[in-house]
């Protein structure tokens, strides 16, 4: 059975600020590194960083490999303020 759903207007993101292309896609641009963690595997350690992307909330930040992010976006690591 279907029930009436009341939407939360605070969760709506205006499309004017996102900058959607004609192909209905947008470029993901990292804004800030929120956190850093090192996971220990059997034979090695893998460093990850939590990245806040443009047009997303803090809750939607994703964990990415630190090595890959340094190669693609070195400007995020220039200040040397990567959280531990």
Q: For the segment 33-79, what is each residue's pLDDT rounded down to a tens digit?
A: 999 999 999 999 999 999 999 888 888 999 999 999 999 999 888 87
Asked if the structure places residue 83 within a domain, the reply is yes
- Can you tell me the distance from the alpha carbon of 16 to that of 13, in angstroms, rounded to the nearest whole number? 9
- pLDDT, one tens digit per residue, over 2-41 is 777 777 877 776 666 666 667 777 778 899 999 999 999 9
Whether this model's pTM surpasses 0.75 = no
Domain extent for 77: 33-84
Asked if the structure places residue 7 within a domain, the reply is no
Task: Compute the Cα dihedral for 58, 63, 65, 68 and give only its sign.
Answer: negative
We report the CATH number of the domain holding residue 49 as 2.40.50
Domain count across the chain: 1
């Amino acid at each position: 059975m279907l029930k009436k759903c009341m939407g939360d207007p605070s969760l709506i993101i205006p499309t004017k600020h996102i900058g959607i292309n004609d192909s209905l896609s947008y470029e993901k641009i990292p804004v800030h590194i929120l956190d850093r963690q090192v996971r220990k595997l059997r034979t090695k350690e893998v460093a990850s960083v939590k990245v806040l992307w443009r047009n997303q909330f803090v809750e939607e930040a994703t964990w990415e490999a630190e090595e890959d992010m340094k190669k693609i976006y070195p400007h995020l690591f220039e200040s040397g303020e990567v959280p531990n």
